[in-house]
Amino acid sequence: MNEKKLFCFNQHFTGERLRHARKSWGYTQSELSKRTGLGAASISHWESGRRVPGLQNLFTLLVVLQVTADDVLGLWTLPAAVSKIEKKQSNNL
């Protein structure tokens, strides 16, 4: 099966997934801050969806929480969206 994937980023979803991963380890935001060297306030902002972590900070979180970028960022198969994009691209040719 050859499905195309389209990346759909939702910072609130990302925050919820980060919170879930942190809690699954039993860490408080303060404990995660100490383990990662990242600020507790930043972690709070990321989990609430007010901000998103930069690439280096995201990588640090993924390593410490032992989750993948797909788990945290979310990759969804969206056939309808892909079809719409492909149709638009073919019309522009």
Q: Which CATH architecture has domain 7-91?
A: Orthogonal Bundle (1.10)
Domain ranges of the chain: 7-91
User: Per residue in 26-82, pLDDT tens?
Assistant: 999 999 999 999 999 999 999 999 999 999 999 999 999 999 988 888 765 455 555
Asked if 48 contacts 15 with a C-beta cutoff of 8 angstroms, the reply is yes
Q: Which helix (H) or strand (E) holds 76?
A: strand 75-76
User: Residue 22: what pLDDT?
Assistant: 96
Query: Which 3 state secondary structure label does DSSP give 86?
Result: helix
DSSP letters, 10-71, are -HHHHHHHHHHHHHHTT--HHHHHHHHT--HHHHHHHHHTSS---HHHHHHHHHHHT--HHH
